């Protein structure tokens, strides 16, 4: 076993993200020297393919993003999509970002069922093909009607019914789509038998059409859950429809605004009513189990009876087909039909990541019968018959346990289907803070606590008020009971929604994200070794998520911060060493790894992290809206509420690759987050000088603080959002006034005026450098802004910071009058050496970048890069207890920044 200590694999993740960025840095000279940019070939077509392969399947459609080089496509450019055979595919296009010159930077594209037949496509300038079934949207005072050409949905603008009806042809397949919330007012750990349950129903406050075709329509519905005079738990639901599709998608978000000591969620669900028109023996229940397994039953089963209705009849029922007239059956069955039970109620509950159960009963008041079970259910079901039926599914069903599917009343005139995002059979959702403060009433006491458990505690700050969670659901209006093959395809579409994606080569060629990445390159042994190490580290974290069960409604998508070598367990219960909450930017590591590789497994891991960190780790209501919470035992526990966690830099890749509107909302909400510095001073506990937040003199750091603000402003500006002009002005004014500081970025902090958007110029030079300043998106933002905004002084200030962070203390003092003190994370910062070397064409700096990368404080080439079984006690699953070599806190971010970095002369040290 290696002697390298197993500490903080999480911080190693930070280095991997950074290494991915500098594919071009030392070999190509600048972010603007992206292959294809500004050349005649820059407007060449883009290749687009399915992320997992297999085509569209049973999904209603796919939406994807494509980047374009600066200055190539004007804002009014249209695009056409064709298959490899030259067949035209209808596509809807809109702009998601523009370059400062107004040319297209990112475009989003939507395709529907007409794109189902091909594996790869070409997107190029041209007139898009017309859809066979054009989607239409009709608005009246209280309703919005969406017609895909196959189904018609009526959405309410008020009341409790989000979706009044879903109709196929002349047949109503589902009605009364609504939201359900069960609240428990008390949580007595000794006895919950007397706990009071209350039911709240979703009440709509408004609905808006955000897109209306021709291929895709989007409707947003907002409101709160209400009972009597109380309304709480705000929701935002988006419904997605595609031309020609028989299904629609729902993206459902709740924001917690309750009292953690009183408002315990017992159940949270989406419910539809499904009319039952067919005879009981023609009513079919389908519930997906594990993999492609299904519970395949009828409400009134005629198989397995003592008397046989006939092989053809039995076969038809199992296949879901309409049965022949009972008069043609064996009459020994027909005359006794009334004695065969009808099973009206079914439940599948997934209370953990490792087990689900299925049970059924005839009707309320009678006992439940076990009907099977397994490990991990797909979260998909169907109820209906030959005259029509409803398929429904909840994505990440077992990953975000406890979840549940209910079918009720299928033997009556109408069945009721509920997809429980939080199962009412589970323990109530308990968001209370996990300890009583332990006497940490003053800042000195809290700092002492920080020094032992790494938790930054402060009374009243460990609150879930304002955190959110988004879930994805899908529904099909079927003309009849689907075939087994169709049901498997529908379940697969719920589990892994088909996603179109541009190739890594096209993503890199466009020069977006500052040009900080290039496709995976294994052309030399040294490059191949770095790629192998990066693959190793991603696989490690992916496997740890499974082994350690990093799952659950609030937890799925996050990773842990630091490992406990003695317990052979991550420090899930030790203060700031527990959940990571984006510490040192694993989000960026994953997204750059995907952008370079195009790997679907990395995309899905990054997608789950983006959904989690942007919702759960950030406040969306209250005084701290726009701030995120530092790492801790609970995602909201730590008292450090900062921009470095909420930063839009973590959300940008997913948004531009998918055009996801919810993530767009999250980034837009941050545009005014500079106001949060009035509400909360991020370094209030360690200030040595008197300071009171003032609108005209807010203390804001140039590292983790400003990079978060800059990311939100840049995104709003390039998206052309409602506050784009303000965002651009804020960007330019802060860039100008940072550059004008006596020591530029090294100054560390400045006094910011909320009204003017400018930093006051300090009268005296200062040195305020932290090893964390550049580890939360600052490098990414500076690279992008230098490429976008012609401001030489800002570029000079940033290059100086890059050059001197890893310089000797003597060199630092000679340049700034004072050295930077004791610093960490040199491997992570080697990317800054590389960036400056490329910009300045400095061979000596390039050499230092490699030295810091290979032989400083991170994942060096000398470590053992293989699996090492741990001997002795292991956590919960000894058979799976294998730890791979880890190191201290720096590695992944810097490793990713230089992973295919080429030295001047295009050679790498072996």
3-state secondary structure string across 393-444: EECCCCCCCCEEEEEECCCCCEEEEEEEEECCCCCCECCCCCCCCCCCCCHH
Residue 889 has pLDDT above 90, yes or no: no
Closest CA relative to residue 838, chosen from 39, 35, 22: 22
- Please count the CA atoms within 13 angstroms of the CA of 224 that sit on its side-chain side: 12
User: Is the distance from CB of 24 to CB of 511 less than 8 angstroms?
Assistant: no
Taking residues 758-787, report their average pLDDT. Answer: 96
Q: Please state, rounded to an integer, the average pLDDT across all residues of the chain.
A: 90
Q: What is the largest CA-CA distance in the chain?
A: 102
Residue 651: how many other CB atoms lie within 10 Å: 28
Q: Give the rounded distance of the alpha carbon of 37 from its chain centre.
A: 30
Least confidently predicted of 21-35, 206-220, 636-650 = 21-35
User: Is the distance from CB of 839 to CB of 833 less than 8 angstroms?
Assistant: no
> What is the C-alpha to C-alpha distance for residues 270 and 367, in angstroms, rounded to an integer?
25
> What is the C-alpha to C-alpha distance for residues 705 and 527, in angstroms, rounded to an integer?
34
Q: What pLDDT, on the 0 to 100 scale, is given for residue 516?
A: 86
User: 539: which 2 tokens?
Assistant: 């696989």
Sign of CA dihedral 154, 157, 160, 162: positive
- Angle 792-805/724-739 helices, nearest 10 degrees? 60
Rg (CA), the chain: 29
Q: Strands 749-753, 698-701: parallel, antiparallel or unpaired by DSSP?
A: antiparallel
Q: What pLDDT, on the 0 to 100 scale, is given for residue 19?
A: 45
340 three-state secondary structure: coil
Taking residues 613-617, report their average pLDDT. Answer: 98
Task: Give the model confidence (pLDDT) of 160-198 as tens digits.
Answer: 999 999 999 999 999 999 999 999 998 876 555 566 789
Q: Strands 380-385, 388-394: parallel, antiparallel or unpaired by DSSP?
A: antiparallel
In this prediction the pTM is 0.94
User: Is the distance from CB of 676 to CB of 629 less than 8 angstroms?
Assistant: no
- Angle 586-597/600-615 helices, nearest 10 degrees? 150
Distances (CA, A) of 264 to 154, 278, 902: 33, 40, 55
Q: What pLDDT, on the 0 to 100 scale, is given for residue 676?
A: 95
> What is the C-alpha to C-alpha distance for residues 37 and 23, in angstroms, rounded to an integer?
16
- Please count the CA atoms within 13 angstroms of the CA of 125 that sit on its side-chain side: 11
Residue 879 has pLDDT above 70, yes or no: no
Cα dihedral 883/888/892/898 (nearest 10): -130
Closest CA relative to residue 180, chosen from 497, 416, 496: 416
Closest CA relative to residue 300, chosen from 440, 406, 411, 201: 411
% of residues, the chain, pLDDT over 90: 82
> What is the C-alpha to C-alpha distance for residues 395 and 393, in angstroms, rounded to an integer?
7
Burial of residue 564, with CB atoms counted within 10 A of its CB: 0-12 exposed, 13-18 middle, 19 or more buried:
middle
Sign of CA dihedral 415, 424, 367, 192: negative
What lies within 8 Å, CB to CB, of 722 at 6+ separation is 668
Taking residues 308-337, report their average pLDDT. Answer: 96
Residue 155: how many other CB atoms lie within 10 Å: 25
User: Is the distance from CB of 30 to CB of 602 less than 8 angstroms?
Assistant: no
Residue 63 has pLDDT above 80, yes or no: yes
Taking residues 392-414, report their average pLDDT. Answer: 98
Structure letter (DSSP) for residue 150: S
**Helix residue ranges per DSSP H, 564-703:** 586-597, 600-615, 643-646, 652-658, 661-668, 676-679
- Angle 525-547/586-597 helices, nearest 10 degrees? 120
**pLDDT confidence bin for 136, thresholds 50/70/90:** very high
Least confidently predicted of 143-147, 292-296, 514-518, 557-561 = 514-518
Cα-based angle 649, 650, 651 (whole degrees, multiple of 5): 95
Least confidently predicted of 8-12, 90-94, 673-677 = 8-12
Burial of residue 188, with CB atoms counted within 10 A of its CB: 0-12 exposed, 13-18 middle, 19 or more buried:
exposed
SS3 content of the chain, % helix, strand, coil (to 5): 30, 25, 45
User: Is the distance from CB of 881 to CB of 867 less than 8 angstroms?
Assistant: no
**Helix residue ranges per DSSP H, 617-699:** 643-646, 652-658, 661-668, 676-679
Task: Give the model confidence (pLDDT) of 687-733 as tens digits.
Answer: 988 899 999 999 999 999 999 999 999 999 999 999 999 999 999 99
Residue 868 has pLDDT above 60, yes or no: yes
347 three-state secondary structure: strand
User: Is the distance from CB of 267 to CB of 182 less than 8 angstroms?
Assistant: yes
Residue found under tokens 């909840």: 394
DSSP run (H or E) holding 374? strand 369-374
> What is the C-alpha to C-alpha distance for residues 751 and 761, in angstroms, rounded to an integer?
8
User: Is the distance from CB of 124 to CB of 46 less than 8 angstroms?
Assistant: yes
Cis omega (within 30 of 0) for bond into 402: yes
What lies within 8 Å, CB to CB, of 55 at 6+ separation is 116, 117, 118, 119, 498
Task: Give the model confidence (pLDDT) of 4-26 as tens digits.
Answer: 333 444 444 444 544 444 433 44
User: Is the distance from CB of 747 to CB of 702 less than 8 angstroms?
Assistant: yes
Distances (CA, A) of 581 to 58, 645, 647, 650, 652: 35, 7, 12, 11, 17
Taking residues 304-311, report their average pLDDT. Answer: 96
Task: Give the model confidence (pLDDT) of 835-864 as tens digits.
Answer: 999 999 999 999 999 888 888 887 777 777
> What is the C-alpha to C-alpha distance for residues 792 and 220, in angstroms, rounded to an integer?
43
User: Is the distance from CB of 504 to CB of 567 less than 8 angstroms?
Assistant: no
> What is the C-alpha to C-alpha distance for residues 857 and 864, in angstroms, rounded to an integer?
15
- Angle 778-788/704-719 helices, nearest 10 degrees? 40
What lies within 8 Å, CB to CB, of 401 at 6+ separation is 350, 351, 352, 353, 423, 426, 551, 552, 553
């Amino acid at each position: 076993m290696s002697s390298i200590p197993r500490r903080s694999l999480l911080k190693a993740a930070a280095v991997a993200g950074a290494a991915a960025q500098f594919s071009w840095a030392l070999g190509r000279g600048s972010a603007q020297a992206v292959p294809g940019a500004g050349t005649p070939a820059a407007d060449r077509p883009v290749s687009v393919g399915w992320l997992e392969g297999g085509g569209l399947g049973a999904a209603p459609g796919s939406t994807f993003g494509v980047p374009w080089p600066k200055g190539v496509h004007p804002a009014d450019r249209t695009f056409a999509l064709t298959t490899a055979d030259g067949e035209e595919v209808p596509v809807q296009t809109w702009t998601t970002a523009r370059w400062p010159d107004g040319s297209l930077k990112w475009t989003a594209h939507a395709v529907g069922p007409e794109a189902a037949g091909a594996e790869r496509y070409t997107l190029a300038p041209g007139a898009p093909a017309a859809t066979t079934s054009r989607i239409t949207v009709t608005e009246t005072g209280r309703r919005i009607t969406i017609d895909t050409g196959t189904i018609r949905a009526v959405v309410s603008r008020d009341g409790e019914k989000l979706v009044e009806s879903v109709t196929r042809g002349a047949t109503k397949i589902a009605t009364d789509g609504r939201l359900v919330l069960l609240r428990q007012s008390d949580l007595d750990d000794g006895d919950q038998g007397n706990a009071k349950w209350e039911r709240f129903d979703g009440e709509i406050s408004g609905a808006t059409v955000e897109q209306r075709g021709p291929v895709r329509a989007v409707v947003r519905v907002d409101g709160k859950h209400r009972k009597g005079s109380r309304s709480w738990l705000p929701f935002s639901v988006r419904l997605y429809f595609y031309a020609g599709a028989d299904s629609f998608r729902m993206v459902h978000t709740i924001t917690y605004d309750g009292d953690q000591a009183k408002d315990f969620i017992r159940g949270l669900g989406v419910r539809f009513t499904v009319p039952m028109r067919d005879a009981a023996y023609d009513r079919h229940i389908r519930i997906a189990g594990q993999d492609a397994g299904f519970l395949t039953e009828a409400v009134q089963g005629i198989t397995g009876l003592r008397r046989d209705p006939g092989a053809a009849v039995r076969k038809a029922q199992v296949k879901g087909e309409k049965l022949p007239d009972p008069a043609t059956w064996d009459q020994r069955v027909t005359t006794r039909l009334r004695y065969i039970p009808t099973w009206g109620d079914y439940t599948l509950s997934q209370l953990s990541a490792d087990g689900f159960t299925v049970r059924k009963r005839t009707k309320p008041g009678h006992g439940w019968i076990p009907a099977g079970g397994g490990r991990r259910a797909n979260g998909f079901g169907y109820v209906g018959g030959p005259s029509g039926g409803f398929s429904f599914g909840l994505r990440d069903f077992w990953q975000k346990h406890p979840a549940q599917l209910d079918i009720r009343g299928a033997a009556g005139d109408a069945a009721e289907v509920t997809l429980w995002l939080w199962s009412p059979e589970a323990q109530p959702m308990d968001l209370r803070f996990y300890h009583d403060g332990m006497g940490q009433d003053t800042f000195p006491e809290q700092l002492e606590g920080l020094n032992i458990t790494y938790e930054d505690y402060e009374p009243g700050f460990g609150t879930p008020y304002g955190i959110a969670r988004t879930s994805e659901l899908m529904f099909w209006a079927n003309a009849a009971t689907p075939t087994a093959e169709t049901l498997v395809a529908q379940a697969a579409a719920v589990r892994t929604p088909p996603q179109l994606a541009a190739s890594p080569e096209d993503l890199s060629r466009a020069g977006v994200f500052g040009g900080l990445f290039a496709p995976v390159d294994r052309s030399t042994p040294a490059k191949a070794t770095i790629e192998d190490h990066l693959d190793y580290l991603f696989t490690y974290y992916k496997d740890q998520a499974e082994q350690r069960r990093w799952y659950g409604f609030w937890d799925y998508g996050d990773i842990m911060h630091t490992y406990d070598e003695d317990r052979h367990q991550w420090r899930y219960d030790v203060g700031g060493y527990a959940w990571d909450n984006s510490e040192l930017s694993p989000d960026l590591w994953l997204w750059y790894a995907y952008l370079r590789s195009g790997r679907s497994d990395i995309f899905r891991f990054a997608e789950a992290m983006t959904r989690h960190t942007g919702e759960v780790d950030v406040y969306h209501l209250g005084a701290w809206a726009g701030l995120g919470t530092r790492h801790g035992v609970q995602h909201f526990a730590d008292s450090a509420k900062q921009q470095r966690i909420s930063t839009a830099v973590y959300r940008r890749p997913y948004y531009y690759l998918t055009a996801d509107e919810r993530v767009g909302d999250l980034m837009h909400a941050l545009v005014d987050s500079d106001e949060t510095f009035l509400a909360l001073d991020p370094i209030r506990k360690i200030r040595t000088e008197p300071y009171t937040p003032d609108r005209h003199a807010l203390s804001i750091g140039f590292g983790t603080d400003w990079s978060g603000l800059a990311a939100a402003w840049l995104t709003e500006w390039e998206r052309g959002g409602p506050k784009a002009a303000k965002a651009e002005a804020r960007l330019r004014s802060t860039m100008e006034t940072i550059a004008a500081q006596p020591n530029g970025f090294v100054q560390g902090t400045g006094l910011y005026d909320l009204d003017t958007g400018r930093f006051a110029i300090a009268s005296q030079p200062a040195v305020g450098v932290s090893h964390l300043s550049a580890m939360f998106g600052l490098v990414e933002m500076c690279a992008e802004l230098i490429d976008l905004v012609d401001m030489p002084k800002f570029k000079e200030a940033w290059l100086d910071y890059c050059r001197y962070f890893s310089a000797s203390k003597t060199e630092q003092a000679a340049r700034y009058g004072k050295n930077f003190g004791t610093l960490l994370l040199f491997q992570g910062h080697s990317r800054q050496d590389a960036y400056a070397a490329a910009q300045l064409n400095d061979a000596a700096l390039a050499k230092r970048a490699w030295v810091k990368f290979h032989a400083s404080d991170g994942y060096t080439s000398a470590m053992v890069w293989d699996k090492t079984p741990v001997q002795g006690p292991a956590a919960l699953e000894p058979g799976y207890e294998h730890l791979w070599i880890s190191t201290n806190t720096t590695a992944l971010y810097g490793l990713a920044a230089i992973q295919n970095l080429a030295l001047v002369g295009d050679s790498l040290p072996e």
